Structure 1
Amino acid sequence: MPREQSAGAVVFRLESGQAEYLLLLYPSMAGKSRSYWDLPKGHIEPGEKEEDTVRREVREETGLRDIKLLSGFRELITYSFRAQGKNIFKTVVFYLAQTGEQEERISFEHSGCAWLPYTQAMSYLKFQNAKRIITKAHHFLSRQGVPGRQSNSQGAGAHVQRGGQAHRSSQGVARRWQRP
């Protein structure tokens, strides 16, 4: 069975002292499923270190350049899928990355992004592996003294959808763009 190796990140930022996690909206895969929210990740290039892949993929997929990988967090997920008539076994290593940047620019690969508190991020995620990784990251941050805001907490974020129309929301920041 062919194997693939990827690396990704649980990217978070502190908003009013609370952790918010970055999720990307992936388009449906060949019309087989609906679009889904997941973490930034991508293939490890030959000769590339995992940490370099994480930085490159986060930059390419989100435009975020100022990220700091937190030491002590490295988690693996494995799964298999079918592509072009072949079963593929995939391993993805995740790191925990903090950013202070406020403006992201998603790549053509994605149709939206969202900065969300833990409980809301969990409700957005489709795959159990991603939920397990973000839960481990959230618990890691809690042990480090970083508070996690509940989705129903007070605070004002902006929700931006389709070309930049905004309204107030207490549930983090979400952005979607319509493709031409």
Structure 2
Amino acid sequence: MKKTLLASAVTLAMMGTASADQHSGTYAFDKKDAHQFITFEISHLGYSTLYGRFNEFDGQFTFDADNPANSSVEVTIDTASVDSNHAERDKHLRSEDFLYVDEYPRATFKSTEVVVNDDGDEAEVTGDLTLRGVTREVTLDVDLVGHGEDPWGGYRMGFDAQTELRLEDFGIPMDLGPASETVKLEISVEGIRQ
């Protein structure tokens, strides 16, 4: 399950450049889902790489340009929206062997710490990821994609975030061998200032 589930993600977020035109505020994820993705990848028995995504998720982040460490992010994922482009496999991923979506329909991430690099274009966002009823601290490596006014009079910021999870850390019982113990999760999100 690709780069950080979540998430991240999901999610993710807050850091930015120290430029004077940067705007603080709360940003909601783009509701059209056209500009955001939560994807994952995991080895299948060490013989191939399985890619997938979560089609339904939501979240927001707060960005503090004066003090980026005060920024935060929250993400909620509909785990039943898992999509690996194969109906039977997706059914298995939703089962008790993996995500157990009947019992745990949502995964969430809530940040607890944001550490921004000196250039302001990268950050480590640490937070609590709850997946399959288990909450663990995870860290997202976050890159600022960009920010600025959009053609419709709004203001947007975009981030890419990655992390890696051990399946057993979240109580996932399926054992596909040592090559398949971890999943990479990636969250790419565009927020619209509220």
TM-score normalised by L of structure 1: 0.29
TM-score normalised by L of structure 2: 0.27
Q: Flag the structure with higher helix content.
A: 1
